[in-house]
Amino acid sequence: MNEKLKTTFWLIGYTFLAGLMLALFSMLTEVYRYLFSLLALYIGIRFFRRFETVGLRIAFFVLAIVFYLLIAVVAAAFVFLRDHQAP
């Protein structure tokens, strides 16, 4: 497989997981929400150990925030549609 394509897939996978963990952290109110915060930190550390270039690290932060926002909006829309059924 092409090395750039493989790196892109790894980048998308890590950023999706980090964005998901951040979205779960922001949606939960119980104490165990901090577990998701620590998981997001662990995913970031794993990514930084695997890829050492500055460009990939910047892309990780940007895409993690983008995935966080997308997941949070989709989850909020799902909750709204579930709770506000038409009569």
Q: Is the dihedral of CA 19, 21, 25, 27 positive or negative?
A: positive
Q: What is the pLDDT of residue 29?
A: 87
pTM beyond 0.75: the answer is yes
| pLDDT above 80: residue 87 | no
Structure tokens at 19: 């964005």
| pLDDT above 70: residue 86 | no
Mean pLDDT on 26-51 = 93
Structure tokens at 50: 């695997």
